[in-house]
Amino acid sequence: MSKKIKLKAGEKVLFGGTAIFIVLAIIGYVILETVRLTSDKPLFEVKTHFDLSKLGHKGSAVFRASRCTSCHRAMNNGTNMGLSLDGIGSKRTQEWILTFLMEPEKTYEARTLDHGLRPKEAAYVARMPKDDLVAIAAFLYDLKSDPGSSTSPQPPPGKSPFIDSMIKTWAPEDWKEKYTDIRDKDPVENSSNSDKTQTRED
Ligand code: HEC
């Protein structure tokens, strides 16, 4: 006859807690996968796009050959650990990007971590041949973002209850007189603005 092992109170709490945790994790995973598989919208929408110029194509090859992807992501490739450069062309000008690559510490708004002088890890970037950096800057400038993306100056099209609630909670009252809500602007004007951010300078 098998003898039942009696658990102590502390062991019951420990095993019970672990079991509940595992069950909740499994339920969460099943829900997430069900939503992901049945939803017609992708879970993570891609809100960036690119249309490479000739120089941009060259820059993309130089970018990949120059180990930039060990710290960056571009065109949805590269590491997730560092700074994503997708959409940077809607946030920065081509000149800013080039100047940053050549003189990072003078250009960046904050103290740089990796770009700059040796022994910083990306110090080699500023010493690359200028032609390569010009091509990379053209490539990065071709990486644009869609309205509503974190790198886009344009809000998402249509009304967003989330943005409304954030403004209500966080924007001080006097901002309403000082600033106009970019979403209240004439949609034609808005779209021509977004066209402006998309124009290419090459
Ligand atoms: C060792 C990691 C590392 C490598 C390699 C690296 N970067 Fe960076 N990059 C960073 C970090 C970190 C920042 C933020 C600025 C800083 O702290 O240096 C940055 C910032 C940038 C920015 C400015 C982004 C912005 O809008 O603020 C650009 C452009 C850029 N890197 C391009 C490149 C290119 C092109 C290469 C390859 C030739 C490269 N990086 C290689 C780590 C790296």
Over the stretch 48-64, which tens digit does the pLDDT of each residue have? Answer: 999 999 999 999 999 99
* Ligand 1 pocket residue status of 88, Cβ below 6 Å: yes
Q: Is the CB of 136 under 6 A from ligand 1?
A: yes
Of 35, 12, 31, 34, residue with least CA distance to 23: 31
Whether the CB of 115 sits within 6 Å of ligand 1: yes
Checking if the pLDDT of 154 tops 70, the result is yes
Q: Report the distance separating Cα 58 and Cα 132, nearest Å.
A: 9
Ligand 1 center–CA 70 separation, angstroms: 10
Give the span between the Cα atoms of 42 and 17, in whole angstroms. Answer: 34
Please give the average per-residue pLDDT across 149-160, as a whole number. 86
Confidence of residue 142 (pLDDT cuts 50, 70, 90): very high
Centre a 10 Å sphere on the Cβ of residue 103 and count the other Cβ atoms it contains: 13
Residues 6+ apart with CB under 8 A from 72: 78, 79, 82, 83, 84, 85
Q: How far apart are CA 113 and CA 122, in angstroms?
A: 9
The angle subtended at Cα 70 by Cα 64 and Cα 72, nearest 5°, is 80
Q: Which amino acid is at 33?
A: E
Q: Does 108 sit in the ligand 1 pocket, CB within 6 Å?
A: yes
Q: Which atom of ligand 1 is nearest to the CA of 85?
A: 24
Pocket test for ligand 1, best of 95, 114, 134 (most atoms within 8 A of CB): 114
Q: Is the CB of 50 under 6 A from ligand 1?
A: no
Task: In whole angstroms, give the CA distance from residue 10 to residue 118.
Answer: 55
- Structure tokens given for 179: 């600033």
**What's the pLDDT at 194?**
45
The pLDDT of residue 199 is: 43
Is residue 201 over pLDDT 50? no
